[in-house]
Every structure is written in C-alpha cells, then in structure tokens.
Structure 1
Amino acid sequence: MSSNADFIPFFTSSAAKYAKLGFLKIAENACRQYGDKVWIGDKDDAVLLLAGARHIRFFIGHESSFPKGFDHLSSASTVGRILLGQALTTSREGEEWRLARRLTTPLVNPKSELLQKGTQLSARWLMATLRDPEQRSLREICLRWALMGVAEGFFGSALSLAQLDKLLGHFRNIYLQLIAAAPVADYAALCRHPALLAFRQEVKSMIGPLIDGAKREGTTMVERLCQALDVNANPEEQERVINLLLGNLAASVDNTGIALLWCLTHLSQHPQYQKRVRDEGQQEKRNMASAIVRESLRLTPVAAFFERQTQEDLVLDGARIAAGTRVLFSPWLVHRNAAYWPEPLSFKPERFLGKDKIPPEYFFPFSVGKRNCVGMALAMDQLTTAISTLCQHFHFSLAPSTLPAALTPLFELNAMPRGEVCFILESLNTDRQNAPIV
C-alpha cells in the first residue's frame, strides 16, 4: 500500500452494505464520490482502483511493472489459481505463462474447422431453442449456447454437453465457496478444501481418459495439447493439459454466454437495430451485428475489472504507489465515462461503424496488453454469428414482466443481469403465436 496514502482518498463500506450492493456498485459509488483513483477497503486491507483512461495508458506503457499477483487470498486471481492450476488465465508471469499462451493461441482460432462448425451449430440450436415453449431460463440457454460452440473443438465427441455442463456448474459453485472462505483461511487450508479436492478428482476422472486416448495427429484441443506437450513421453504434463482445458472451457462458456445475454438484452430494447442487422444479412454483411456486439461489450463488459500487483514503487498522478500494491483496472468504469464516450449510458452501435480508430485505453472488454483474452477473436465471431442469425428469424422485445431491477448488474464470476430477463419473440418465418422467453 502507498506510504503517502493521504494523496489518494479511501472509500470504506460496511459488510452489510457491501453484501447488499455488491462490489461493482461499491466501485461506482467510490468513483462518484472521490474520482477515478481511490482506495477501496480499510487501511489494513485495501485495493487501489484506477478507473481512468490515463491509467490504462500508463499500464500499457509500464506493463512489466504490473504483473498478475497471487499472494492475497481474497483475490479472484489466487482462488482461480487454486482451482485451475497452470491455466493460461492463472499462470504467473514468466515461462509458465508464455508456454500456456503459445499452446493456447492457435487452438482458439475462429477459423478452426471444428470451432467454425461449433459456432454455426450453436447459432442454429439457439434459434430452435428460443422457439421451444418449454425452454429453460434465458441465462441457462446462453450458457449452453456458449458451451455448444466450443465443446467439440475442445473435446471432440467423447464428452456429452450434459457432462460438461455439470462440470462447469460445479466449477462455479466451488469458485464462489473458495472466495467466501478465503478471508478466513490460509492458502494451504484452501487447497485442502473438501469441495475442491472432490472437484479436482471429478475433473481428472472425466478428462484423464481423453488424454490417455488422444490421437497423435488429432484436431481437438485435448489432442493437440497432448501432442505439443508429448504427454506419452512426459506423463507429468497431464496435469498441465487438464488445467489448460478447464481454464479455456470456463472462460469460453461463462464470459461468452453472459456476453450474449447482455447483447440480447440491449438489442431487445432497440428494435431498429434488429432491422438493420436483418437488412445487412440479406447482403451477406455483418457490420451492424459486429457493432452491436462491441457496443454491448462497451456498455456491459462481463469482465468488469482486472487485477494486477505493482512490482516496484511507481509514481502515478503525483502519488507514490508502493511495490506490492493490489490494483484494479476497470473496463466497466472507463467504458461508461462521459469524458471518453458521449452519452455513455446510451446504446449506440454506430460508435463502432465510423472510420476513426478507438483508442485502446477507451475500449478494452477483453483486457489489454499481453495478457488480454486469447480467445477474443473467437468470442467476437460466436457472438456476431448468433446476433446475425437471430435477427434473420426473430423480432424480439423486452417483456413487460421483466423488472427494471433485473437488468441491474451483479458482479460475481462476471457482471451479469441481477434477475430473470424475459423476452417476447415474434418469429418472422412462421405464424407461431408470440411467446415470452424467460
């Protein structure tokens, strides 16, 4: 923590208020009251929130001074590392991370034949599912859509969607359990958490046989990771393969699925853009669909924060920030700042159709720098395909039963709508009766 913390104000919140509002609202309140550089917490345990575009410019120019930290148990980074081990998203800086990045990058290429197939298949499944009067909640549908998009590309046909869906459900539950337990447990105790041990065994029993039977010249992610790490000759690398697979699966499903939920939520309230997507689709163009996805990611980025730790003393805005300080950067707060975006709370996809290049410090829904999301091109392609496909077949609007409070964000694993979102869908290709989609 900074030795001259008087240069930077503190924003403290009671446990009861924190539990009621959630961290995202606490951060918004802190910035509203004190500006875009503020400590959140008490003086014994605080995180420095840097919520200005100039802070992102500083980060880009001094990225080596902001490694990803893992030594604070209440942080998502540490809990994620306990769950995912040497996954790309949780690796420490250095050779471990570089290896994970090098292995993963070609395996999440949207031009991959299996992933292209998954993107098209999941878009058609989404369209069919939304027509089904017995469908589940919209959030579950979006998460299943995201899972379907990558399942075969990652695992082939050896694991069913039901198996993978169950595994991810356990992952989410245990992640939240460990976050809740972290403030009162040490690292070793968390690593021995009974739920964690059971989960790791479940993962190994599910994915282990796929590694043992991986083809030498296969095309799935599990096969290509096994080839690259030569698991037959180096059986100790099996754990790395499992961690990379689980990390990629969790990120690909949860972040992309909730991003689709937000896209549909915004688009349902702006039918004029649905028509523009439809008109462009007839010319085999997707410019507006892509702009809608980007505008949704601007207004409601699912990765609302990313955390780093200062490696050395730094001077920022005239204040000295000590080495070892936990720092939060926030796409959510920068994207909604009127200093960078005119009418920041309005949904205007046209922002992304102009010729002017948007500065990277203004728009970074997939993080920024060398640790940005390795699967961002795949996610953009999946989301754009889904939006384009749905607009060709449906007109949809927000159902009157959707309460305004349901659309306020809740930040846990990511930023999602707080309550159930309901649509009314009108099929453009059949005479089916309009039906609400919950």
Structure 2
Amino acid sequence: MLSSPAVIPIVKPPAAKYAQLGFLKIAESACRQHGDKVWIGENEQTVLLLAGARHIRFFIEHEASFHKELENGQSVRRLLLGQSLITAREGDEWHLARKLTAPLVNPKSTLLKQGTQRSAQWLVDTLQDPEKDSLQDICLQWALMCVAQGFVGPTLDPLQLDSLIKHFRRIYQQLIVAAPTEDYATLSQHPALVAFREELETMIGPLMTGEGSANLGMLQRFCQALDIEAHPQERERAISMLLGNLVASVDNTGIALLWCLAHLSQHPDYQHRVREESRYGTRDLATAIVKESLRITPVTAFFERGTLHPLEIDGVVIPAGTHVLFSPWLVHRNAAYWPEPLSFRPERFMEGKVPREHFVPFSVGKRNCVGMALALDQLTTAIETLCNVCHFTLAPSTPPAALTPLYGLNVMPRGAIHFIIESVDRVTQHECIA
C-alpha cells in the first residue's frame, strides 16, 4: 500500500526566519537536512519542494498532470500582464500567446540580430566610460537595447521603455503586498495599477499600427495577428503580451549577464581563451561560459505548478491541488549531478551531452521560456564582444556577501560588486560598481 504525504518531512519556519533568511536559504537548508523532497510551510501556505533531477524528469513525463494556474501571487501577475505569454491561462489563451510570440523571438530575425550586435557594442563602450559606474543598471539597459527595436520598433526612446519597466516593477511589488488581503476585483482597481495602465496606454497605444513591412516590431505583429481594427477588444491583449515579453527579456537576461560578468571576473583566464577562440570565428567557449553561469546562478530558482489529480511520486501519493515547487537552483548545485557543483568550469558543457533534467535554467516543458534561444545568443554575443576588448577582474573592495544570492522577483547578487575593468591593450583602467 502506498504511504500518505505525511511521511514526507515537514519544515515549518517561523515568519521571522523567512524575513531573516529568505525562502531560497530555507529551501537549501531543508534539503540538506531532509533530502530532496520536503514540505515547507503550514496550512494553506504549504508547498511541496521537489528538488531532485528525477523530479524534473517526472514533470517532463507527466506534464499533463500539472497546471500553472495558482492563486494569490499568480493573480497579481495576471492583473499586471493580462493575457501575456508568461501568465496566460491553459488552453486556447496560452496556445495563442505562444503561437504569436515564438516566431518573433527568433535570434536570427533581422531586427533582433541587429539589436543584439548593437547592444553588445554599446556595452563595451559603456563599460569603458568611467562616468557610468552601476553595472546592474548597465546590464538591464543592455538587455532592453537588445530587444527594444525588435519589440516596439524605432519610434519609442529606450529611456521611455526603461522608465516604463521600472514603473512596472514598483507596481508589481505593491500588489504583491496587497494580494493576500484583497480579492481580484479590488486589486484590479488599485490606484497604482490604474495609473500604470494609463501610462502604458499613453506610451504604447500610438505605436499599434504599421505597414506590412518585414521589419515590423513585435507589437505591430501582435496587432495584425489579432486584427485589432476589426476587434478592438483585443487591443489590451496585444499590449499585455508585449509587456510580458519585454519585462521577462529585460529583467531575467540583464541579471543573467550580471552573473556572467561576476563569474568571469573571478576567472580571467577564460577571458583570454574567449579572445583566442574568437580569432578562429568560433564561440563555443563563450556559449559554455554563459551556460555554466546559468547553471551556478540560474535567475529562476523555482518554478511552481499545481497537481490536477493525485500523483505517486517516489512511492508517495501527492493529493490533487498540491502546490509543487521544482528547483533549477537546487538541481544545478547538486553534487550527484554536477561534480564540484560550486566550481566554475564551463568545460562541463563541452564534454558531451548534458541530461535534460540536469540543466533547466529556462524552466522545462511546454511552459518553458519561449525566448531561451534568443537569450543565449544575446548573452554569448555580449560575452564574446566584451572579452575581445576588455579585461575585467573582481576588485578587492567587493565584500564576499555581495556575491551571495538574493531571491526576489529573480535571483540577483545581494550587494554591490566592484570590478576592475581595463582595455585589452591596458591603456585605460577604472573601477565599475554593480
């Protein structure tokens, strides 16, 4: 007879511990003490953490038994992003969003390829300018420049888009605080959200038409596909899908670049090897460096699903309606799958095929990141371009705690990281602070 879920260890950290350590540290500690299958929380807030690669494999093989539609914080994302790709409901709505988005995030598309190359050069120029000293902001601006023209066309100033995304982050945080005590209808009329929608319409609305050119941006192609002239009710859907893709492309990719630079700054020998490789027209090592950074510090630490019906996992029956957390962070740092998991060794990705369930920085399954190929290309191009021109190391003034992860909307460095950046010819040198 199968045992009940009660046999799975339960960890009930007090609120003070959540506030002190954050969920990521609590999850790491729980797995160290109890293994890779553990309940965390209590009452209706309990989630089942499944932190093994076999659990990722189970999810891949039984994806139809899980769903993404959850309560509380998920409703906040839906309010902000509407019917966007990353929060669209299962069924026709999600399939439409995916179908419309997938061809528009192809790294080979002309506009996006131009954006990737142009932003890489901008990154090099900016990092050699000692007046600009916040590397985190620089990385986020780089990520925005990669996709700005491909998503909205050349009309909108990147500074306006940057302002819009920063406003989005502020509203998102406010609604997350309000979500546990307010219902959906009340949240939808939150004054901060109303103001944000007005700003969004003012900025994006005038860009929603375009000719049938091959160089139309994502927004205009959404509008054409949804035929908003004949179906004006689809206008909000087009804007929401654009915003969802824009925010995900900037925040996750920008922070991923910041982690890449943090790792590379501590292993400058790889920078020289990337330069040497580039002379032969290849960039296999640059790609491996990006993947190794995403392995050690994936910006998405967890992805959450709900069980649609009772499931047997590791000989235990998990009830329907269980909130389950799968963890790229914990799988990527598990010595059972990755020897010396905290060592930065890009060669791992040049020594043969990596099992699918061992490396999932962009989630996995049908709801994985639709822009993962684009993000990998952007990050690889940035690393290759930067290594060809600059040499950078971690400055002695960087406190060790700054490199520890802070888990919020994504996983980012906890504090300011100081780099010494110099031209390859060693003519100029300055310190840059993230």
TM tier relative to shorter chain: over 0.9
Q: How does 1:117-156 map to 2 (within 5 A)?
A: 117-156=114-153
Tell me what 2:199 maps to: 202
Once structures 1 and 2 are overlaid, which stretch shifts more, 344-353 or 10-19? 10-19
CA offsets per residue over residues 213-247 of structure 1, 9 Å max, x none?
33244521111111111111111111110011000
Partner residue, 1:424: 420
* Rounded Cα–Cα distance in structure 2 between residues aligned with 1:353 and 1:288: 8
Give the Cα–Cα distance (whole angstroms) in 1 for the partners of residues 43 and 347 of structure 2: 44
CA distance in 2, matches of 1:43, 1:345: 35
d(CA) in 2 for partners of 1:180 and 1:30?
Answer: 26
TM-score in terms of structure 2 length: 0.97
More deviation in 232-241 or 245-254?
232-241
**Candidates 325, 330, 335, aligned match of 1:333:** 330
Cα separation, 2, equivalents of 1:97 and 1:228: 15
Question: Which residue pairs with 2:350 in the alignment?
Answer: 353
Match of 2:289 in 1: 292
Q: Give the structure 2 partner of residue 375 of structure 1.
A: 371
Shift of 1:15: 1.4
Partner of residue 81, structure 2: 84
Deviation at 1:181, TM superposition (A): 1.8
Aligned residue pairs total 432
Runs of 4+ residues deviating >4 angstroms: none
* Partner secondary structure for residue 90 of structure 1: coil
- What is the match of residue 256 of structure 2? 259
Q: 5+ unaligned residues in a row in structure 2: which ranges?
A: none
Structure 2 counterpart of 1:176, from 141, 154, 173: 173
- Residues 127 and 432, structure 2, Cα contact 8 Å, conserved in 1: no
Deviations 1:282-335 (A, max 9, x none): 111100000000000000000111111111111111211111111111100000
The alignment partner of 2:317 has SS state of: strand
Query: Alignment partner for residue 341 of structure 2, among 325, 341, 344?
Result: 344
> Does 2:97 align with 1:100?
yes
Normalising by structure 1, report the TM-score. 0.96
Separation (CA, whole Å) in 2 of partners of 1:42 and 1:253: 35
Name whichever of 244-253 and 232-241 sits farther off. Answer: 232-241
Between the aligned partners of 1:429 and 1:124, the Cα distance in structure 2 is: 17
Matched letter for residue 132 of structure 1: D
Q: Provide Cα deviations, 1:132-153, integer angstroms capped at 9, x if missing partner.
A: 1110411000000000000000
The answer to whether the 8 Å contact 2:135/2:432 transfers is no
1:17 and 2:14 aligned: no
Q: Which amino acid aligns with 2:254?
A: G
C-alpha distance in structure 1 between counterparts of 2:305 and 2:17, whole Å: 25
Alpha-carbon RMSD across the aligned residues, in angstroms, is 1.4
The 10-residue stretch of structure 1 (223-232 or 297-306) with the greater mean CA deviation from structure 2: 223-232
- Kindly indicate whether residue 30 of structure 2 is the aligned counterpart of residue 39 of structure 1: no
Aligned to 1:395: 391
CA distance in 1, matches of 2:220, 2:429: 46
One-letter code of the match for 1:11? V
Amino acid at match of 1:403: P
| Residues 1:110 and 2:117 aligned together | no
Which residue number corresponds to residue 56 of structure 2? 56
Q: Secondary structure at the match of 1:88?
A: coil
2:29 corresponds to:
29
Deviation by residue 1:100-135 (Cα, 9 ceiling, x = unmatched): 000000000000100011001100000011011110
**Which deviations, in whole Å up to 9, do the C-alpha atoms of 1:10-52 show, x marking residues without a partner?**
1111212211211111111111111111111113420111111
